[in-house]
Chain A
């Protein structure tokens, strides 16, 4: 008997040394926890004894009450809120009368084992990916892992990966820019970046990201996405848009040309009625050209293929040009367009053709929505690091519930629009895309019955070197 008790005490001592042990009373409240539990979970005895065991997620003793002995996997939540996976044995205790008196729960921490299993699963999954993935150590750029696709692509042997230096990869890319970005990544200035690279005649989009697990060195993850199909689809779409655009413009060339020649009197004198009808036909041919141009522009913008010739220009001069170009159009609607600029010159980097396109769009929109005899203000305000250009009309305004969709494609607000010369409903989408491509922002404010103001911003720049020298020379001359 004495020997038996001694064995039991020894067994309990051994258990206490290696496993977490929790006891509860018949009501399911904790009556004791051992030192291993306190050490492993961080919970203090005073916090858990007498309480229902909140450290067991989904604790439901009633569901297991008819199982006197149960063994399985159970999570234990630590004081820090992290979860430990444990192999758990739960034994019911009974009193001298055979009544249920509580439970003993014995937990062996299996988190490391589960983590290792999860890691093995993750690595196996990475090897199954069709996209090449590899990981290099930050700083040395030595490869520490490559999935099967990456090893096949680059011809790496699994047992010789650590001798591969990422710099030795024969990737055709902008190496200077990529090196700079990697330096920024490793300095913690950015979390990730992407670049285009060709390898062995195949185009890839490479995503690079830095990660660091607790207690481990930082690593750079590289995923290569094959762009062959993406590029082929993009090229086919570009070709289709260009061809459709060409096929539409060719008959329009004949229509507009013929109408223009008749209007000019090349085919003989015209009655006023005939001239009026020709004007309508000519304007609508123009509209068709605009629609084709807008669709082509929007496709280019969406595909990121819009060409920009970014040069330093005086924004005030561009505003003056745009107002002059829209003078005839404004006269048709009997509205006057005024420039109010607080800065001259107002230097900024932009593509004049595209910013003209933005301004013509905004001013022609304002003309269409302005009552006859009213004024449109084109306002330039330069403050801080930005120029802000606003085109302000005194038209009917836009209903509040339509404001959030004015920049959507094919959105036309107001019934009078089409009747007054119409548009494609693409204009503001194009304006927004062009301005954002210049690093600026577009905003619209409108009050029904009072008017609308559409504004965009461009970054302020210093005068170009040539202009500075001219100004200095002027100054010297006095």
Chain B
């Protein structure tokens, strides 16, 4: 089954590498946005199964985006995974407590990124 994945990340290079990683893994239909407000606009139409957010983004942080997307109809329970370099233990705990499904630490391994997302989705 193809997983519809919305990836939000302000670094264009990382967007490109992640896209290649998901393509290589196979089984993902990926939409990418480089800012939170754009993601909020695109999400209702794309209807993702899972969302992967960067944490530190200029216009809207990943945590603000998480709060905002939860207010959108049909997104109360959509799994959100943070992919961030700021993943000290207390930061990761905070993200989970705020409703994230999991945290992928940057630098991520492009060869296993798809597997990591699948594993987090399976560990509900």
Residues of B near A253 (CB, < 8 A) are 11, 14, 17, 85, 106-108
Query: A252 in the interface, Cβ–Cβ < 8 Å?
Result: yes
Query: A246 in the interface, Cβ–Cβ < 8 Å?
Result: yes
Binds A, one of B43-51, B68-76, B86-94, B116-124: B86-94
Residues of B near A386 (CB, < 8 A) are none
Residues of B near A261 (CB, < 8 A) are 17, 20-21, 24, 110-111
Residues of B near A260 (CB, < 8 A) are 109-111
Question: Contacting A300 at CB < 8 Å: which of B17, B86, B88?
Answer: B88
Q: Report the minimum CB–CB distance from B2 to chain A (whole Å).
A: 20
Q: Report the minimum CB–CB distance from A82 to chain B (whole Å).
A: 55
CB distance A257 to B17 under 8 Å?
Answer: yes
Total A-B residue pairs with C-beta atoms closer than 8 Å?
Answer: 62
Question: Contacting A252 at CB < 8 Å: which of B24, B86, B107?
Answer: B107
A252, closest chain B residue (CB): B107
Residues of A near B21 (CB, < 8 A) are 257, 261
**A: number of interface residues (CB 8 Å):** 22
Within 8 A of A (CB), among B33-84: 56, 84
Query: A245 in the interface, Cβ–Cβ < 8 Å?
Result: yes
Interface string of A317-336 (1 = CB under 8 A from B): 00000000000000000000
Given contacts A249-B106, A257-B108, contact A242 B11 (CB under 8 A): no
Residues of B near A256 (CB, < 8 A) are 107, 110
CB distance A257 to B89 under 8 Å?
Answer: no
CB distance B110 to A246 under 8 Å?
Answer: no
Query: A47 in the interface, Cβ–Cβ < 8 Å?
Result: no
CB distance B107 to A249 under 8 Å?
Answer: yes
A437 to B110, CA, bound (A): 34
Query: B97 in the interface, Cβ–Cβ < 8 Å?
Result: no
Interface string of A255-283 (1 = CB under 8 A from B): 01110110010100000000000000000
Residues of B near A289 (CB, < 8 A) are 107
A245 to B56, CA, bound (A): 12
Q: B: which residues have CB within 8 A of A?
A: 11, 13-14, 17-18, 20-21, 24, 56, 84-86, 88-90, 106-111
Given A246-B56, A254-B11, output 15 extra A-B contacts at Cβ < 8 Å.
A242-B86, A246-B84, A246-B86, A249-B106, A249-B107, A253-B108, A254-B14, A258-B17, A264-B111, A266-B20, A266-B24, A289-B107, A296-B88, A307-B88, A307-B89
Sort A-B residue pairs by CB-CB distance and give the 3 closest, nearest first: A249-B85, A257-B17, A307-B89
A-B contact pairs, 13 of them (CB 8 A): A242-B86, A245-B86, A249-B107, A253-B17, A253-B108, A254-B14, A256-B110, A257-B14, A257-B110, A258-B17, A261-B20, A261-B110, A264-B111
